[in-house]
Amino acid sequence: MTLTPEVQSTSASEPVQLNSAGMRVTIGVFVVVPLLAVLAAIPVAWGGWLSWVDVILAVAFYAITAIGITVGYHRYFTHGSFKTGRGLKITLGIMGSMALQGSVAQWVADHRKHHKFSDEVGDPHSPWRYGTSKRAVAKGLYYAHVGWLFDENQSPISKYAPDIAGDKDLRAISRWFPAIVVGTLLLPAVLGGLITWSWAGALTAFFWATLVRVALVHHVTWSVNSICHVFGTRPFESRDLSSNVWWLALPALGENWHSLHHAEPTAARHGVLKGQLDISALLIRSLERTHLVRDVRWPKPERVVAKLKDPSMAKRVRGYRAPAAS
Ligand SMILES: [Zn+2]
Ligand SMILES: [Zn+2]
């Protein structure tokens, strides 16, 4: 696995443009087509194999597990964007585990290694690992999206996540991981069955709020690793090819503002420009207001502005006031 000098030079210069028809087809095949298939199934199933109960359960379990990943696994456990007490720590650990993306310790180790070697040799999931030709990037996108999960070389927890491995509560959550798996798979079916008081209700809730929901959360998380290192815009200076992909804002709960995230990894807010929806940051803000979290590392507007490639964009940074001309 080597990255060509061409890749390393692009990280410091202009964004790579991969907007050709071939690349769009590639991205479509493994991200957009499955999503469209789900959307297409909705009107067909409505009234029979899909009801409001299924929709509400699917949205609720999507929110619980995606927040567990974005606010819990990512911004809290990996990057320490805020501090919290034992109760919320355990809650976030369980919510993240329910997304079925592995134990918190392994997730954190992989992700810290990703930041350390971002788009260079050693990155567990860089879409650029095979080179910069269209064929190589297509292969790399697949690897960054899902292929890397099957790599036998896992990031060592003892090196990258000793704090997580040393936490008694998180170790207990890891031990209980099989029970959490059963819970996240069956709970929607149990609720769907009880609410509709029917086996059919249990079955449809299992399909939409378990199978479809788990697949969607997986794909959206993986899209940050794949799409948000290839396509989109890169307004901030960073040594990798992390990028902003606006249309992922809602499902990714703000993790799609990936350019700022690599420039300021510990910041609790990734969507720092005006108009950039960051639901995870909104949630952290409301937790802060209710004193459930403290010492939140909100991005400092001056630091954010200093990392902009184009200084004229400063007026788009939230909370930034240009110094008065003297
Ligand atoms: Zn990244
Ligand atoms: Zn990160």
Q: Could you tell me which residue, 266 or 28, shows the higher pLDDT?
A: 266
Asked, for residue 8, whether it belongs to a domain, the answer is no
- Give me the chain's average pLDDT, please: 87
Give the lowest-confidence range in 2-6, 192-196, 297-301: 2-6
Ligand 2: distance of its center to the CA of 66 in Å? 15
Residues around ion ligand 1, judged by CB within 5 A, are: 242
- Of the CA atoms within 13 Å of residue 195, those in its CB half-sphere come to 18
Asked, for residue 278, whether it belongs to a domain, the answer is yes
Ligand 1: distance of its center to the CA of 325 in Å? 37
Mean pLDDT computed over 223-239: 89
Ligand 1: distance of its center to the CA of 266 in Å? 13
Give the lowest-confidence range in 58-72, 122-136, 301-315: 122-136
Mean pLDDT computed over 226-241: 89
Asked, for residue 126, whether it belongs to a domain, the answer is yes
Q: Could you tell me which residue, 284 or 45, shows the higher pLDDT?
A: 284
Which pLDDT tens digit goes with each residue over 264-294? 999 999 999 999 999 999 999 999 999 999 9
Paired strand residues for 257: 244
Asked, for residue 16, whether it belongs to a domain, the answer is no
Closest CA to 125 of 268, 116, 133, 134: 116
Asked, for residue 321, whether it belongs to a domain, the answer is no
Asked, for residue 152, whether it belongs to a domain, the answer is yes
Give the lowest-confidence range in 47-56, 63-72, 116-125: 116-125
pLDDT at 193: 97
Ligand 2: distance of its center to the CA of 226 in Å? 13
Which pLDDT tens digit goes with each residue over 137-195? 888 888 777 778 777 778 899 999 999 999 999 999 999 999 999 999 999 999 999 99
Give the lowest-confidence range in 11-25, 42-56, 140-154, 225-239: 11-25
Neighbours of 277 (CB within 10 A): 15
CA dist 179 and 182 (Å) reads 5
**pLDDT tier for residue 209 given thresholds of 50, 70 and 90:** very high
Asked, for residue 144, whether it belongs to a domain, the answer is yes
Residue 5 in this model has a pLDDT that exceeds 60: no
Which pLDDT tens digit goes with each residue over 53-71? 999 999 999 999 999 999 9
Give the range of the structural domain holding residue 58, as residue numbers without chain letter: 26-315
pTM for this predicted structure: 0.87
Pairing state between β 83-84 and 293-294: antiparallel
- 3 state DSSP class of 214: helix
Residue 324 in this model has a pLDDT that exceeds 90: no
pLDDT at 136: 83
Q: Which ligand is nearest to the CA of 114?
A: 1
**pLDDT tier for residue 227 given thresholds of 50, 70 and 90:** confident
Ligand 1: distance of its center to the CA of 188 in Å? 31
Ligand 2: distance of its center to the CA of 265 in Å? 6
pLDDT at 24: 60
Angle at 115 between CA 242 and CA 260, to 5 degrees: 40
Ligand 1: distance of its center to the CA of 117 in Å? 10
Asked, for residue 160, whether it belongs to a domain, the answer is yes
DSSP per-residue codes, 240-294: S---B-GGGTTTTTTTTBHHHHHHSTT-S-S--BTT---HHHHHHHHHHHTTSEE
Ligand 2: distance of its center to the CA of 268 in Å? 10
225-242: b (≥16 Cβ within 10 Å) or e: bbbbbbbbebbbebebbb
Domain count of the fold of the chain: 1
Ligand 1: distance of its center to the CA of 226 in Å? 8
Q: Which ligand is nearest to the CA of 81?
A: 2
CA dist 184 and 57 (Å) reads 12
**pLDDT tier for residue 23 given thresholds of 50, 70 and 90:** low
pLDDT at 303: 94
Ligand 1: distance of its center to the CA of 323 in Å? 32
Angle at 28 between CA 27 and CA 33, to 5 degrees: 140
pLDDT at 18: 52
pLDDT at 197: 96
